[in-house]
Structure 1
Amino acid sequence: MSEHVWFAVFPDDEGGSAAARELQPERLRSGIVPSERLRSGIAPSERLRSGIAPSERPPGGDHSCAAQVFTHASGRPWLIGSWPPGEVTVAGAGTAMIAVFGRCSASAAELAALIRDTPDIGLIQHRTRTLAGSFHLVASIAGTVWARGAASGTRRLFHARIRGATVAADRADVLARLGDAAIDERALALRLVTPAPAPPLEERSVWRDVHSVPPDHALVLAPGATVRMARWWRAPEAALSLAEGADRVADALGGAVATCAADGGVVSADLSGGLDSTALCFLAARTGVRLVTHRWGAADAGNDDAVWARRARAALVRAEHQITGTQRLSPWFSGLVEPRLPLDEPFRWVRGIARVPEITASLVEAGSRLHLSGLGADELFTGTALYLHDLLRVRPWAAVRAARGFRALHRWPLDATARALVGHDSYRAAYDRAGRALTDPVPRPHDPHLGWILPARLPAWATDDAAALAREAVRDAAESAAPLAATRGRHATLAAVRTSGVTLRSLAVLYRAAGVSLAAPYLDDTVVHAVLAVRPEEQCTPFRYKPLLAEALRGVLPDGLLARRTKGDFSADAFAGLRYNRPDLVALTEDLRLARLGLVDPVGLREAITGVHPSATTLSQMEATLGVEAWLRSTQVDPGRSVPARVLGGRP
């Protein structure tokens, strides 16, 4: 799209009106606001206008984005932003207003019924938590605003003080620009850590004085500048059997895919050959929507995805199928020297950014308006062995049997497995230890991990200053850190889901910029809720591949496709792309923005780029660093200034 999609939320008071005038100076300063609650059409602010010239607009993109405004019942500004038709559904009932941005199973009439006769805005939490889809929800009732994103983190909210009022937005850089915020070097140092730091560290805004709302919390703005967080989502009790849970997961996943197909037209979907993407293709086909599947090849000849994708295509007789060979796509790690990423934070999957417009071009040509991704399924259905620690205390023999299976599967040493099972550190202690271990050697590949937090490390090329900033951020967060669930296994699953949510959020922006909306139904809140309601020892086992998903798909997928036990590997593509782009990446280290900020030693990074990599660990660390660097180059941050030179695609 030629313009970024964003929205901002304002409290129903004079402070909110003053802050709104920062976005719409000409219309709002003169006091001209829509008199009808659902009227829209205010011209875009010069301050937030996209800087992408018409000749630079992505081919095939939807250029219908327009700035709009909705008001509270009082007539004061409530929502201001820029979005395409169909992105938001707004309803009113008396003095109550509700808006949903994104995919949602509720119509405008159903939303109006939810807020009718609702004097307590807290009831919104109860009445809307079972809605299918992926969306932001904002309500205005009797002067109080209640706003939340998705519990999985695929849709997020941020808030900041603007002219004395707390303003929320779905993009952090909107608030950064309004408040002239500077880059937060501590947040950037955390983005160099791999694997991703424990929540809420990775969800932290990279702008100073711009704060993220926890995905499972809502932001409440009351008159008189009162601001608070309210928990709106909690993981369910894990009490269902595999059979009971499979029925619920099937219903939730079917409902999630139905929201993707609800607007008709053409829907596309990945068809790698894996169980996750194949399931989405068959579920989409059952809705009756016109389906286009897409698959791209892999460099590794041993990757058997192609075999299984061929079998799936044979069964999807009414779908159109696209296959893109590796020779038609840019090698991984391309396009990082002069990137144009329309993102408000660094992106960890930066290795494939050059492929996004190449892949979406064929989808746009086929008429696709929305693309389905299987992202999130591994985190939910492969599960984590951390539940062994919890299971040992209630069903010790079952835990020992499963531990033997995981030992054989992952080649865990016996003594290390025993120590991991009996460990009883608190979450706070684990958090504190994680901060102190950021510069320790990388754990051995076959060491079992059954603790609260994954062993995370800074790369060897991170400077002492970067290490100090990251440790300081972890130490500060540890003071109020709390696990996402009461047990280690469920906490780890939720942490993995939220990490995927961060990834999907940025990837969706890249797809939208290329002309196609992106959806990951596995990360819809109703699906996550259904999976977490199943006893972990039944949905994650070393003796069977993704049993919960397989049972949920019986009757949807042919039995032959449910028999797959392998998973494709793309590390060969990563190493080949690194070799191909090595000259450009070496040249990039000659003028690193991260080096100007004092966070990365360019010599160390250069040695890693030109060195030998016996495992993918260094490659992951390198990708995280390049992701931060690419984002800094896209935002044109000048380390000599405290204010970002460009956000939202505008020119300095």
Structure 2
Amino acid sequence: MLSDHVWFAVFPDDDGGGAAARELRRQAVQLFTHASGRPWLIGRWPPGEVTVAGVGTAMIAVFGRCSVGAAELTALIRDTPDIGVIEHRTRTLAGSFHLVASVSGMVWARGAASGTRRLFHTRVGGATVAADRADVLARLGDASVDERALALRLVTPAPAHTLEERSVWRGVHSVPSDHAIVLLPGGTSRVERWWRAPEAGLSLAEGAVRVADALSGAVATCTTGGGIVSADLSGGLDSTALCFLTARTGIRLVTHRWGAADVGNDDAVWARRARAALVEAEHQIAGTQRLSPWFSGLVDPRLPLDEPFRWVRGIARVPEITATLVDAGSRLHLSGQGADELFTGTALYLHDLLRVRPLAAVRAARGFRALHRWPLEATARALLDRESYRAAYDRAGRSLTDPVPRQHVPHLGWMLPARLPAWATDDAAALAREAVRDAAETAAPLAATRGRHATLAAVRAAGVTLRSLSALYRSAGIPLAAPFLDDTVVNAALAVRPEEQCTPFRYKPLLAEALRGVLPEELLTRRTKGDFSADAFAGLRYNRPDLVALTEELHLAKLGLVDPVGLREAVTGLHPSATALSHLEATLGVEAWLRSTRFDPHRPTAAFAMGGQP
């Protein structure tokens, strides 16, 4: 049921908002009112999740981790009744949070620019209501599932950021991560831009100082209050960084890593070196035999999610991992999610660099060609391509059912080639094309250049994924934090010139420089990255009987989106590479979510039970 989840809803300061609030009040535990006494915020959240301050007719609430408390928030709003001033003053606060303000009848709300905290809105009677979960609003408005949105979720990778962030409920709309929603008396509302990426003008040395400060501040919001926190320690640079930064605060730290099936995965070697230097921390290691194989738990899932989740392969492991962390006393778990998107970078900046520094672009392109085995002619063609964003969007819609592109071909366009799986039906293809075509009419890139747009889109995709993963962890007993996706860290990384933070000649140079003096020097020298494809194939083999059974009662087939015979062949067939599993996982993610919601495709209105309860 809705009452099983952590959620909040935001209401305008008028009678329409009050009437809408009454519909959800019986599902809620907490309530805050506007200065007028009307309902402002209602929902269900744990102690310490929200900080509220008020001065006169001005109210402000922060949901999540934040570097300031009630006293500082009060000072921020004491001398101004202006929403714009309040927004400007709170923009540099560290942490990951929703911010909601109510000033003289106007309500302003936003999430995180990275997408880790999102907002949705819908019309209820004569009022616009916002919430941090789409299913809260779907329940309020008796909304049905949008088959076009589900068809888009079968596409891999998502053809564009706007389509990946689209709500899967009819009549429930997502607020773009870089926008806020404004609720006004009388039922009117609007969305407006609150965040823009900084100019990328800093050198590597300048940026490293800024990233180091931002990361330290982000981790501090996780450790404030003491107690015990835990963190992944895979052996990679990202998780290792968080462990050392956390240990420097003096808090009690529990590290956790799980083994890999591939004996060639050298994560264990580097994790062992990190553990040796973290002498005060407690270390947990879970072997593959102690955790459920990948792709387990998909036949009868219980997912506390308001949308499908692409990383569904590991959902059965989440409660197993969190159980050991809770037993160790951890109150918060840290993950390195988002660091790859920020610090590995994208070669798309070559397309932009060629126009201003052609020699530097050609030198870097040679390095990327050697690294990725790009053909010379294809590389030159990609660098010289001048396709517009709108044309790329149109082409993405037309090519959804084209063959998957060959490997080792550079993709330096506005978006990666997006494809539907072979088992998607003609109806699914028609719905997906229609959705892309409609979205293309108003689509705009996140930045003027391809490289910048691709980085921002990747960060937001990571944020969307982290949001669902956080819900899984919280439901299993422990909140999840990803400091690399905190807005202050994102801002710091984006302020560095792309050609200095993404190079074929060095691994994550910006992050490595920011961590100099924090990590032992030997840990900064790693150039490899662990591979878990062996775990994926082993899990697929182990769970093949259950997955075959799943295809025999397929919700997606009842909706007319997937051919169960084709999906069954994919489950039982051979896969030449791990990338071939991405389509399968996306489909299984949508199916698992539909099963979890107890969706009934034969009913025209909302037929689901929140939280997977019948």
- TM category (shorter chain) comes to over 0.9
**How far apart are 1:649 and its partner, in Å?**
2.2
Instruction: Write the letter of the residue equivalent to 1:521.
Output: P
Matched, 1:290 2:252: yes
**How far apart are 1:255 and its partner, in Å?**
0.5
Matched, 1:391 2:392: no
CA RMSD in angstroms, aligned pairs only: 1.0
Instruction: Write the letter of the residue equivalent to 1:191.
Output: R
After superposition, the C-alpha distances for 1:472-520 in whole angstroms (9 at most, x for unaligned) are 1111111111111111111101101111111100000010011110000
CA distance in 2, matches of 1:224, 1:342: 34
Question: Could you say which residue in structure 2 is the equivalent of 1:8?
Answer: 9
Matched, 1:154 2:116: yes
Instruction: Write the letter of the residue equivalent to 2:577.
Output: S
Secondary structure, counterpart of 2:24 in structure 1: coil
Among candidates 127, 132, 136, match of residue 98 of structure 2: 136
Secondary structure, counterpart of 2:443 in structure 1: coil
Q: How does 1:342-491 map to 2 (within 5 A)?
A: 342-491=304-453
Q: What percentage of residue pairs aligned between the two structures are identical?
A: 85
Question: Could you say which residue in structure 1 is the equivalent of 2:467?
Answer: 505
CA distance in 1, matches of 2:445, 2:91: 21
CA distance in 1, matches of 2:83, 2:332: 33
Secondary structure, counterpart of 1:490 in structure 2: helix
CA distance in 1, matches of 2:610, 2:466: 19
- Stretches of structure 2 that go unaligned for 5 or more consecutive residues are none
- Stretches of structure 1 that go unaligned for 5 or more consecutive residues are 25-44, 49-65
Secondary structure, counterpart of 2:162 in structure 1: coil
Instruction: Write the letter of the residue equivalent to 1:509.
Output: A
CA distance in 2, matches of 1:321, 1:616: 30
Among candidates 512, 518, 527, match of residue 556 of structure 1: 518
Instruction: Write the letter of the residue equivalent to 2:338.
Output: G
Instruction: Write the letter of the residue equivalent to 1:571.
Output: S
Question: Could you say which residue in structure 2 is the equivalent of 1:99?
Answer: 61
CA distance in 2, matches of 1:107, 1:232: 22
CA distance in 2, matches of 1:533, 1:251: 13
Among candidates 567, 574, 579, match of residue 541 of structure 2: 579
Contact 1:133 1:524 in 2 (8 A): yes
Matched, 1:309 2:310: no
Instruction: Write the letter of the residue equivalent to 2:7.
Output: W
CA distance in 2, matches of 1:223, 1:462: 45
After superposition, the C-alpha distances for 1:307-364 in whole angstroms (9 at most, x for unaligned) are 0000000000000000000000000000000001010000000000000000111000
Question: Could you say which residue in structure 2 is the equivalent of 1:243?
Answer: 205
Contact 1:635 1:644 in 2 (8 A): no
CA distance in 2, matches of 1:616, 1:314: 33
Question: Could you say which residue in structure 2 is the equivalent of 1:340?
Answer: 302
Among candidates 475, 487, 498, match of residue 525 of structure 1: 487
Secondary structure, counterpart of 1:22 in structure 2: helix
Contact 1:350 1:627 in 2 (8 A): yes
Contact 2:304 2:612 in 1 (8 A): no
Question: Could you say which residue in structure 2 is the equivalent of 1:275?
Answer: 237
After superposition, the C-alpha distances for 1:131-173 in whole angstroms (9 at most, x for unaligned) are 1000000000010000000000000000000122000000000
Instruction: Write the letter of the residue equivalent to 1:354.
Output: A
Among candidates 282, 288, 296, match of residue 320 of structure 1: 282
Matched, 1:19 2:20: yes
After superposition, the C-alpha distances for 1:566-606 in whole angstroms (9 at most, x for unaligned) are 00000000000000000100010001000000000000000
**How far apart are 1:23 and its partner, in Å?**
1.3
Secondary structure, counterpart of 1:369 in structure 2: coil
Contact 2:144 2:607 in 1 (8 A): no
Instruction: Write the letter of the residue equivalent to 2:16.
Output: G
CA distance in 2, matches of 1:374, 1:289: 18
Question: Could you say which residue in structure 2 is the equivalent of 1:648?
Answer: 610
Instruction: Write the letter of the residue equivalent to 1:239.
Output: G
* TM-score between both structures, scaled by the size of structure 2: 0.99
After superposition, the C-alpha distances for 1:24-61 in whole angstroms (9 at most, x for unaligned) are 2xxxxxxxxxxxxxxxxxxxx1xx4xxxxxxxxxxxxx
CA distance in 1, matches of 2:612, 2:466: 24
Instruction: Write the letter of the residue equivalent to 1:22.
Output: E
Secondary structure, counterpart of 2:130 in structure 1: strand
**How far apart are 1:644 and its partner, in Å?**
2.8
Question: Could you say which residue in structure 2 is the equivalent of 1:593?
Answer: 555
Which stretch has the larger CA shift, 194-203 or 8-17?
Answer: 194-203
Contact 1:298 1:326 in 2 (8 A): yes
**How far apart are 1:651 and its partner, in Å?**
4.2
**How far apart are 1:122 and its partner, in Å?**
1.7
Instruction: Write the letter of the residue equivalent to 2:131.
Output: A
Secondary structure, counterpart of 2:461 in structure 1: helix
After superposition, the C-alpha distances for 1:206-227 in whole angstroms (9 at most, x for unaligned) are 0000000000000001112221
CA distance in 2, matches of 1:645, 1:318: 51
Contact 2:303 2:612 in 1 (8 A): no
Contact 2:600 2:608 in 1 (8 A): no
After superposition, the C-alpha distances for 1:54-76 in whole angstroms (9 at most, x for unaligned) are xxxxxxxxxxxx71000000000
CA distance in 1, matches of 2:327, 2:451: 44
Instruction: Write the letter of the residue equivalent to 1:421.
Output: L
Secondary structure, counterpart of 1:300 in structure 2: coil
Contact 2:596 2:612 in 1 (8 A): no
**How far apart are 1:645 and its partner, in Å?**
2.7
Which stretch has the larger CA shift, 638-647 or 291-300?
Answer: 638-647
Secondary structure, counterpart of 2:355 in structure 1: coil
**How far apart are 1:112 and its partner, in Å?**
1.1
Secondary structure, counterpart of 2:610 in structure 1: coil
Question: Could you say which residue in structure 1 is the equivalent of 2:170?
Answer: 208
Instruction: Write the letter of the residue equivalent to 1:364.
Output: V
Contact 1:177 1:647 in 2 (8 A): no
Secondary structure, counterpart of 1:364 in structure 2: helix
* TM-score between both structures, scaled by the size of structure 1: 0.93
Contact 1:173 1:647 in 2 (8 A): no
Contact 1:466 1:600 in 2 (8 A): yes
Contact 2:204 2:510 in 1 (8 A): yes
**How far apart are 1:117 and its partner, in Å?**
2.3
CA distance in 1, matches of 2:563, 2:172: 28
Contact 1:388 1:399 in 2 (8 A): yes
**How far apart are 1:230 and its partner, in Å?**
1.2
**How far apart are 1:643 and its partner, in Å?**
2.3
After superposition, the C-alpha distances for 1:223-265 in whole angstroms (9 at most, x for unaligned) are 1222111100000000000000000000001100100111211
Question: Could you say which residue in structure 2 is the equivalent of 1:635?
Answer: 597
CA distance in 1, matches of 2:128, 2:256: 43
CA distance in 1, matches of 2:557, 2:375: 40
Instruction: Write the letter of the residue equivalent to 1:641.
Output: R
**How far apart are 1:2 and its partner, in Å?**
8.2
**How far apart are 1:650 and its partner, in Å?**
6.6
Question: Could you say which residue in structure 1 is the equivalent of 2:220?
Answer: 258
Question: Could you say which residue in structure 2 is the equivalent of 1:51?
Answer: none
**How far apart are 1:397 and its partner, in Å?**
0.2
Question: Could you say which residue in structure 2 is the equivalent of 1:29?
Answer: none
Contact 1:2 1:513 in 2 (8 A): no
Instruction: Write the letter of the residue equivalent to 1:81.
Output: G
CA distance in 2, matches of 1:84, 1:210: 25
CA distance in 2, matches of 1:561, 1:311: 8
CA distance in 2, matches of 1:138, 1:372: 25
Question: Could you say which residue in structure 1 is the equivalent of 2:585?
Answer: 623
